[in-house]
């Protein structure tokens, strides 16, 4: 049966806005956001309801058409991009963007999976509550994708990853079955925690259509400081001090090397003059919903201890909301700064906190011996043991060729080092299509076997996001 017959059948299920066939409009859905890979599709489907998602999936399964679920298309690992065959359809959740309910008493929010993260944060804030998931792409990423990749971001040190915020889920399975478990319960020990299967599954097990998320009291006070690290400052010990002495009011502990700060500064029209010490800089923030705690005083006392220990050359406490915003803008502009310069080869590694220093030493030596001219942009959520250890693409070099060369050589050395220290090649960006070979290389064989069994149980025909993360058991290896 031809693709045009399939499109007609999908059109019968959806209304006029539900099927996109125009190649120009389709193009926005077939290239990943880092522009590393362009796939192909014959149609983008945009269901408006969970029932329509179920109908689309049932029909696709009937015809044997592969489905690539897509939210905001902000994946760093190509997990929302169709392959090059042109046989997969993209199912975009962008029309399913409703906030279904905010329940201030239960401290939860129920949403469609296509809701933009920022809109969910705003809806929670309007009810005096905080959705404690915050990341650079929050203005365009959608919560279904955040669930699919188990997104991390800027406040994991206090509130955990997306997984830790998920109370309930609604999902369409590969045969069109709707799993409806949109409960707001903190406690529900009734067998397998099915919703957690979908967290980090990157669309390979089903399509998330709705979610219930845990909210926290909205901070009314914050203290934010920019720390310039003295030479040899021990990051893990500094973090431990800050956590302990703030009684865990810490919400962010973001490390930035001087080069990363300079890249962000270059990309900003009105950059704040915040530099780095010899060992880089850290943006640290405390937050509290209580109006009775003096966080500035607490921050000053904690930083005085760190200065006394000889770990800081300087510390600047934000004196106003705008100073705080400027500090955060600088941190959040780093990826854009890398892009504006000429791009970077990204390594989203994490290691146990006790090995952060060792990783930085070993990886630095590996980069220098690979090519002493290479430049690095190193920053990240050190509070979670997560470093973005990015190799800058030299100017006037073909970005894609350079990326391919580094990923086939130096990247593996860096990942080997992270793995030898008990770390991972993907801390918060997922696996998708781009890092599948790394999962095969570094994943424990038993764990991969378990993942393949789960994939087979949920999607034996490999309809859902085929080619991403893991293949089912009965496929021939390498296919
Ligand atoms: C961040 O922490 C994001 O800003 C992006 O995870 C990291 O671009 C990167 O390498
Ligand atoms: Zn990050």
Atom 3 (ligand 1) nearest CA? 136
Instruction: Say yes or no: CB of residue 331 within 6 Å of ligand 1.
Output: no
Structure tokens at 264: 């962000």
Contact 377, 266 (CB under 8 A): no
Number of the ligand closest to the Cα of 34: 1
pLDDT digits (tens, 9 = 90+) for 272-302: 999 999 999 999 999 999 999 999 999 999 9
- Phi/psi of residue 386, nearest 5 degrees: -110, 120
Q: Which of 239, 233, 231, 199 is nearest to 352 (CA)?
A: 239
From 335, 376, 383, 425, the mutation candidate for ligand 1 (largest count of ligand atoms within 8 A of CB) is: 335
Calculate mean pLDDT across residues 120-145. Answer: 97
pLDDT at 188 over 70: yes
pLDDT at 261 over 70: yes
Distance CA 421, CA 353 (A): 10
Instruction: Say yes or no: CB of residue 443 within 6 Å of ligand 1.
Output: no
Distance CA 456, CA 450 (A): 10
Atom from ligand 1 closest to the CA of residue 377 = 10
Q: Which of 403, 400, 412 is nearest to 366 (CA)?
A: 412
What's the mean pLDDT when you consider all of the chain?
A: 96
Cβ neighbourhood burial of 201 (10 Å; 0-12, 13-18, 19+): buried
Q: Please enumerate in sequence order all residues whose Cβ is within 8 A of that of 100, keeping only pairs 6 or more positions apart, or say none.
A: 110, 111, 112, 182, 210
pLDDT digits (tens, 9 = 90+) for 22-65: 999 999 999 999 999 999 999 999 999 999 999 999 999 999 99
Instruction: Say yes or no: CB of residue 346 within 6 Å of ligand 1.
Output: yes
Atom from ligand 1 closest to the CA of residue 346 = 10
Q: Can you give the pLDDT at residue 479? A: 43
Atom from ligand 1 closest to the CA of residue 348 = 10
Q: Please enumerate in sequence order all residues whose Cβ is within 8 A of that of 205, keeping only pairs 6 or more positions apart, or say none.
A: 171, 173, 174, 197, 198, 454, 455, 458, 459, 464
Structure tokens at 205: 């097990």
pLDDT digits (tens, 9 = 90+) for 391-404: 999 999 999 999 99
Contact 373, 423 (CB under 8 A): no
Q: Can you give the pLDDT at residue 352? A: 97
Instruction: Say yes or no: CB of residue 71 within 6 Å of ligand 1.
Output: no
For residue 256, list its beta bridge partners. 281, 379
Contact 211, 111 (CB under 8 A): yes
Q: Can you give the pLDDT at residue 145? A: 98
Calculate mean pLDDT across residues 255-274. Answer: 97
Q: Can you give the pLDDT at residue 17? A: 87
Instruction: Say yes or no: CB of residue 335 within 6 Å of ligand 1.
Output: yes
Three-class DSSP labels, the chain: CCHHHHHHHHHHHCCHHHEECCHHHHHHHHECCCCCCECCCCCEECCCCHHHHHHHHHHHHHHCCCEEEECCCCCCCCCCCCCCCCCCEEEECCCCCCEEEEECCCCEEEEECCCEHHHHHHHHHHCCEECCCCCCCCCCCEHHHHHHHCCCCCCHHHHCCHHHHEEEEEEEECCCCEEEECCCCCCCCCCCCHHHHHCCCCCCCEEEEEEEEECEECCCEEEEEEEEECCCCCHHHHHHHHHHHCCCCEEEEEEECHHHHHHHHHHCCCCCCCCCECCEEEEEEEEECCCCCCHHHHHHHHHHHHHHCCCEEEEEECCCHHHHHHHHHHHHCHHHHHHHHCCEECCEEECCHHHHHHHHHHHHHHHHHHCCCCCEEEEECHHHCEEEEEEECCCCCCHHHHHHHHHCCHHHHHHHHHHHCCCECECCCCCCCCCHHHHHHHCCHHHHHHHHHHHHHHCCCCCECCCCCCCCCCCCCCC
From 252, 380, 387, 406, the mutation candidate for ligand 1 (largest count of ligand atoms within 8 A of CB) is: 380
Domains of the chain: 99-217 (3.30.465.10), 221-335 (3.30.70.2190), 342-420 (3.30.70.2740)
Distance CA 251, CA 275 (A): 22
Q: Can you give the pLDDT at residue 15? A: 85
pLDDT band at 115 (very low <50, low <70, confident <90, very high): very high
Atom from ligand 1 closest to the CA of residue 381 = 2
Atom from ligand 1 closest to the CA of residue 390 = 10
Contact 38, 79 (CB under 8 A): no
Q: Can you give the pLDDT at residue 478? A: 46
User: pTM of the full predicted structure?
Assistant: 0.96
Distance CA 421, CA 362 (A): 10
Q: 372: how many CB neighbours lie within 10 A of its CB?
A: 7
Q: 162: how many CB neighbours lie within 10 A of its CB?
A: 26
pLDDT digits (tens, 9 = 90+) for 329-381: 999 999 999 999 999 999 999 999 999 999 999 999 999 999 999 999 999 99
pLDDT at 474 over 80: no
Q: What percent of the chain has pLDDT over 90?
A: 97
Contact 114, 172 (CB under 8 A): no
Q: Please enumerate in sequence order all residues whose Cβ is within 8 A of that of 267, keeping only pairs 6 or more positions apart, or say none.
A: 333, 336, 337, 340
Tokens 């599954």, residue located: 201
Instruction: Say yes or no: CB of residue 390 within 6 Å of ligand 1.
Output: yes
Q: Please enumerate in sequence order all residues whose Cβ is within 8 A of that of 192, keeping only pairs 6 or more positions apart, or say none.
A: none
pLDDT digits (tens, 9 = 90+) for 406-415: 999 999 999 9
Calculate mean pLDDT across residues 105-112. Answer: 98
Calculate mean pLDDT across residues 420-440. Answer: 97
Calculate mean pLDDT across residues 201-229. Answer: 98
Residue 337 sits at the vertex; the CA angle it makes with 299 and 389, to the nearest 5 degrees, is 70
pLDDT band at 475 (very low <50, low <70, confident <90, very high): low
For residue 389, list its beta bridge partners. 378
Contact 96, 48 (CB under 8 A): yes
């Amino acid at each position: 049966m031809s693709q045009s017959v399939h499109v007609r059948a999908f059109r019968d299920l959806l209304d006029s806005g539900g099927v996109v066939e125009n190649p120009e409009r389709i193009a926005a859905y077939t290239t990943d956001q880092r522009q590393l890979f362009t796939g192909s599709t014959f149609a983008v489907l945009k269901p408006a309801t969970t029932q329509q998602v179920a109908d689309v999936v049932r029909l696709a399964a009937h015809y044997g058409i592969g489905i690539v679920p897509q939210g905001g298309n902000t994946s760093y690992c190509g997990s929302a991009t169709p392959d090059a065959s042109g046989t997969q359809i993209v199912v975009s959740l962008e029309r399913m963007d409703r906030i279904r309910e905010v329940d201030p008493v239960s401290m939860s929010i129920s949403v469609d999976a296509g809701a933009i993260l920022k809109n969910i944060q705003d809806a929670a804030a309007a009810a005096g509550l905080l959705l404690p998931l915050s990341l650079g792409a929050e203005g365009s990423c959608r919560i279904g994708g955040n669930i699919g990749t188990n997104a991390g971001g800027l406040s994991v040190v206090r509130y955990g990853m997306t997984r830790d915020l998920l109370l309930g889920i609604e999902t369409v399975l590969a045969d069109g079955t709707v799993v409806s478990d949109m409960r707001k319960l903190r406690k529900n020990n009734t067998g397998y925690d099915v919703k957690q299967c979908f967290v980090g599954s990157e669309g390979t097990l089903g399509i998330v259509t709705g979610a219930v998320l845990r909210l926290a009291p909205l901070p009314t006070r914050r203290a934010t400081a920019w720390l310039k690290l003295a030479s040899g400052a021990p990051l893990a010990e500094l973090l431990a001090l800050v956590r302990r002495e703030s009684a865990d009011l810490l919400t962010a502990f973001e490390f930035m090397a001087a080069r990363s700060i300079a890249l962000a500064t270059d990309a900003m029209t009105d950059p704040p003059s915040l530099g780095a010490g010899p060992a880089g800089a850290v943006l640290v923030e405390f937050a509290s919903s209580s109006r009775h705690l003096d966080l500035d005083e607490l921050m000053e006392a904690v930083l005085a201890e760190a200065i006394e220990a000889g770990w800081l050359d300087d510390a600047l406490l934000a004196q106003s909301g705008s100073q705080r915003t400027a500090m955060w803008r600088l941190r959040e502009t780093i990826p854009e700064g890398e892009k504006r310069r000429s791009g970077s080869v990204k390594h989203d590694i994490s290691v146990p906190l006790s090995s952060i220093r060792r990783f930085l030493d070993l990886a630095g030596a590996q980069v220098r011996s690979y090519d002493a001219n290479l430049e690095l942009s190193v920053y990240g959520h050190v509070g979670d043991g997560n470093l973005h250890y990015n190799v800058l693409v030299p100017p006037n070099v073909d970005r894609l060729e350079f990326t391919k060369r580094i990923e086939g050589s130096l990247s593996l050395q860096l990942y080997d080092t992270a793995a030898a220290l008990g770390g991972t090649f993907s801390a918060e960006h997922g696996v998708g299509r781009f890092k599948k070979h790394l999962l095969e290389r570094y994943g424990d064989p038993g764990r991969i076997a378990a993942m393949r069994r789960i994939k087979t149980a949920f999607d034996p025909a490999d309809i859902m996001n085929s080619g991403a993360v893991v293949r089912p058991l009965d496929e021939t290896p390498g296919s």
